[in-house]
């Protein structure tokens, strides 16, 4: 029995996702042997390169990954308040989830996870290291993670799902779980939960902004910049 176009498309999509997963995990495992602190950004770079090549050979528009053409003159300025809303949501959910977990006894917010200290403990007062991480933030985290976890994964997961009311929630839930999981290797269980919830919120904002990725990119980069600036200046926030 021959496959229908729909089944054939899903099989091709599954093969693509497996390929991307192999590149992501394989490159991270490889660079872990060199310097684990930078394995994540290195892996994200390899992953985004793979996605770009797939999009090129498929002649697929980057609009499918969130880089949509602005339709109206006011669409550009509107990105800034959308990004500001993203900043508020990220900080609110991140802090709220962290302190709720502390209240429930899941973790202690006064204790910094060992992996976080080992990875970023030398940022304080060190201008070259601070600037290096700012560059990584805006390339690997703000652009890379938003392209992959929101633009790419939400699109691909959504293609698997039937057209139903619950499909949009599943399409942002699965990438959010993966987003939390890839941060758990140095942030632990607390990082998985808090980052996963932030990923869920960013996915919802992405869909609410009609799959325009720019507000997410700006919000993600701004929040991480605030966090690293606080570490550099040794501010207790």
Is the pLDDT reported for residue 34 higher than 60? Answer: yes
Distance set, CA 74 to CA 84, 181, 205, 212, 215 (Å): 16, 37, 19, 14, 14
Give the pLDDT of residue 4.
56
Burial status of residue 74 (CB atoms within 10 A of its CB: 0-12, 13-18, 19 or more): exposed
Q: How many percent of the chain have pLDDT more than 70?
A: 95
Q: How many Cβ atoms from other residues are within 10 Å of residue 153's Cβ?
A: 24
Listed by start position, the domains of the chain span 1-60, 71-233
pLDDT in tens, 183-229: 998 899 999 999 999 999 999 999 999 999 999 999 999 999 999 99
89 in Cβ contact with 201 (< 8 Å): yes
Is the pLDDT reported for residue 237 higher than 80? Answer: no
Give the pLDDT of residue 1.
46
Q: Would the CA dihedral through 237, 222, 31, 13 be positive or negative? A: positive
DSSP string over 110-164: TS--HHHHHHHTT-TT-HHHHHHHHHHIIIIIIIIIIIIIIIIHHHHHHHHS-SS
**Which residue has better confidence, 161 or 40?**
40
Give the pLDDT of residue 211.
93
Q: How confident is the model at residue 152 (pLDDT cuts 50, 70, 90)?
A: very high
Distance set, CA 129 to CA 55, 73, 121 (Å): 34, 39, 10
Give the pLDDT of residue 136.
96
pLDDT in tens, 66-102: 987 777 766 778 899 999 999 999 999 999 999 999 9
What is the average pLDDT value for the chain, to the nearest integer?
91
Give the pLDDT of residue 144.
96
DSSP string over 38-106: GHHHHHHHHHHHHHHHHHHHTT--GGGGT-PPP-STTHHHHHHHHHHHHHHHHHHHHHHHHHHHHHTTS
């Amino acid at each position: 029995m021959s496959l229908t176009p729909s089944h054939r498309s899903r099989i091709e999509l599954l093969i693509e996702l497996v390929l991307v997963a192999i590149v992501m995990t394989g490159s991270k495992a490889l660079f872990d042997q060199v310097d684990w602190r930078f394995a994540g950004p290195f892996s994200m770079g390899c992953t985004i390169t793979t996605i770009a090549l797939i999009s090129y050979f498929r002649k697929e528009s980057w609009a499918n990954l969130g880089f949509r053409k602005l339709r109206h003159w006011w669409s550009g300025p509107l990105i800034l308040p959308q990004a500001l809303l993203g900043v508020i949501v990220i900080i609110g959910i991140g802090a709220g989830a962290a302190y709720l977990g502390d209240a429930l006894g899941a973790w202690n917010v006064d204790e910094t996870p060992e992996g976080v200290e080992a990875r970023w403990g030398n940022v304080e007062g060190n201008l070259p290291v601070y600037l290096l991480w700012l560059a990584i933030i805006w390339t690997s985290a703000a652009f890379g993670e938003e392209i992959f976890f929101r633009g790419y994964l939400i699109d691909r997961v959504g293609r698997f799902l039937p057209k139903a009311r619950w499909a949009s929630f599943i399409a942002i839930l699965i990438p959010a779980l993966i987003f939390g999981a890839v941060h758990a290797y140095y942030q632990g269980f607390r990082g998985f939960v808090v980052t996963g919830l932030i990923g869920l919120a960013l996915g919802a904002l992405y869909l609410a902004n009609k799959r325009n990725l720019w507000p997410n990119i700006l919000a993600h980069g701004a929040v991480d910049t605030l966090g690293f600036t606080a570490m550099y200046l040794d501010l207790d926030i």
